[in-house]
Amino acid sequence: MTTNTIFVYGTLKRGCFNDYMLKDSEFIDEVITKDPYLLIHDSLPFLIKNSDHEYSTKIKGELYEVTDDVFKKIDKLEGHPTFYTRQCIWVINKGNMVYAWCYFINDHFVNDIKEYSIIKNGRWEDKWFFH
């Protein structure tokens, strides 16, 4: 069985409302992105691959190994490739670099960043008090 390493930063994280999709997947660890990205929200988290924004920061998330079947279900949830686009990024796990899939919002869905709340600490669920 093939597995895929996936980095999640929003509703798929433990304690958030889509975590059930990863219940049978292997949780690896809490990790942080190597590079800074812009994390915004408007009831859902949107990660923008724009490290030049003044509030871009390293994003805190979780790393999982998922089967191809789970991967396809997550692609459907995320609207890949129309709404979110899946791309590989580097994350840091206990000092080691890991290449993992991550979902970024497609640029044409975010016209004006000023319309959204920017999450400056890189941790989406803090905004919603899920824990």
Q: Considering only CA atoms, which of 33, 99, 37, 96 is closest in space to residue 65?
A: 99
- Residue 117 in any domain: the answer is no
Q: Which two tokens stand for residue 48?
A: 């923008």
- Residue 116 in any domain: the answer is no
Specify whether the CB–CB gap between 48 and 110 falls below 8 A: yes
For residue 33, count other CB atoms closer than 10 A to its CB.
23
- Residue 61 in any domain: the answer is yes
- Residue 120 in any domain: the answer is no
- Residue 97 in any domain: the answer is yes
Where do the H-state alpha helices sit in 2-130? 68-78
The whole-angstrom separation of Cα 96 and Cα 9 is: 19
pTM of the model: 0.90
- Residue 131 in any domain: the answer is no
Q: Considering only CA atoms, which of 114, 125, 122 is closest in space to residue 57?
A: 122
- Residue 129 in any domain: the answer is no
- Residue 45 in any domain: the answer is yes
CATH code of the domain covering residue 65: 3.10.490.10
Q: Considering only CA atoms, which of 6, 122, 116 is closest in space to residue 70?
A: 6
pLDDT of the chain along its 131 residues, tens only?
Answer: 678 999 999 999 999 999 999 999 999 999 999 999 999 888 789 999 876 888 899 999 999 999 999 999 999 999 999 999 999 999 999 999 999 999 999 987 777 666 778 888 888 876 654 43
CA torsion 62-67-70-72 (nearest 10°) is: 110
Segments forming the whole domain that contains residue 20: 3-111
Based on the structure, what is the number of domains in the chain? Answer: 1
